[in-house]
Amino acid sequence: MKVGTDAVILGAWVNVEGVNRILDVGTGCGIIALMLSQRTANDVMIEGIEVEPIDAAQAQKNVTNSPWANRVLIHPVALQDFQAPPQFDLIVSNPPYFINSQLPPTAHRAKARHTQSLSFEELITHSLRLLNSNGRLAIILPSEEGNLFQSLAEQHGLFPNRRLAFYSRQGKPQERWLIEFSKSNLPIKDEQLILHGEGETWSEDYQNLTRAFYLKL
């Protein structure tokens, strides 16, 4: 899969301060896991899980060819079948989000983009199973689906502590929510990011957020 803006923004935005173990759910080609490797100390361990064998193999290849191969593990397994103690300080996910809309035309794309492979409730409950007591879950979703996910998460005892409203342009409707959840019901810190400045150029805020991950910016 091509690297999407969603993955880049999530990988650059999520708070990694003080984390020791990270889990990337639905790692795809491994981009978020690799970004978090770049952002964290050499003793931080990162695991990525991917149910689609083609993508898991691509992620493993990308990790092997990276400078962080010694601390990134890729597991070709579904979240529902992934077994580990509640040890993770951070779980990140750019999850499937098509709920009632038309399925993508191929089975591969359907699994990647439709909640038939991983429902919101499953992501929430299994995150609760795998997070330690102070752990956080960070996701990116379209704005409507993000509101639904937040409501479900709160019902299960995961509370939004930090949110980023993402817009493609000034004056356009909100396109994405990036939300960090924890088991503590704290005041929410709200932020905003606009992708484009004048014309087709990226905004200064977007460039500042993602500069470390682009070869030319």
Q: How many domains does the chain have?
A: 1
Which tops the pLDDT comparison, 9 or 200? 9
Q: Which residues contact 208 (CB under 8 A, 6 or more apart)?
A: none
Q: What is the pTM of this model?
A: 0.90
Residue 2 confidence (pLDDT): 52
Residue 99: pLDDT band (50, 70, 90) is low
Query: 176: helix, coil or strand?
Result: strand
Q: How much is the average pLDDT of 125-136?
A: 98
Q: What is the mean pLDDT of residues 202-213?
A: 93
Range of the domain at 93: 5-213
Question: What per-residue confidence (pLDDT) applies to 199?
Answer: 80
Here the CATH number for the domain that contains residue 60 is 3.40.50.150
The one-letter amino acid code at 15 reads N
How confident is the model at residue 109, as a pLDDT? 47
- pLDDT, averaged across the chain: 91
Mean pLDDT of the 172-196 span = 97
What value does the mean pLDDT take over residues 17-23? 98
3-state secondary structure of 37: helix
The pLDDT, as a whole number, for residue 110 is 45
Distance CA 23, CA 20 (A): 10
First to last CA, the chain: 22
Q: Which two tokens stand for residue 171?
A: 């004056």
pLDDT band at residue 190 using 50, 70 and 90 as cut-offs: very high
CA distance 150 to 216: 35
**Tens digits of residue pLDDT in 111-129:** 444 445 799 999 999 999 9
Model confidence at 88: pLDDT above 50: yes
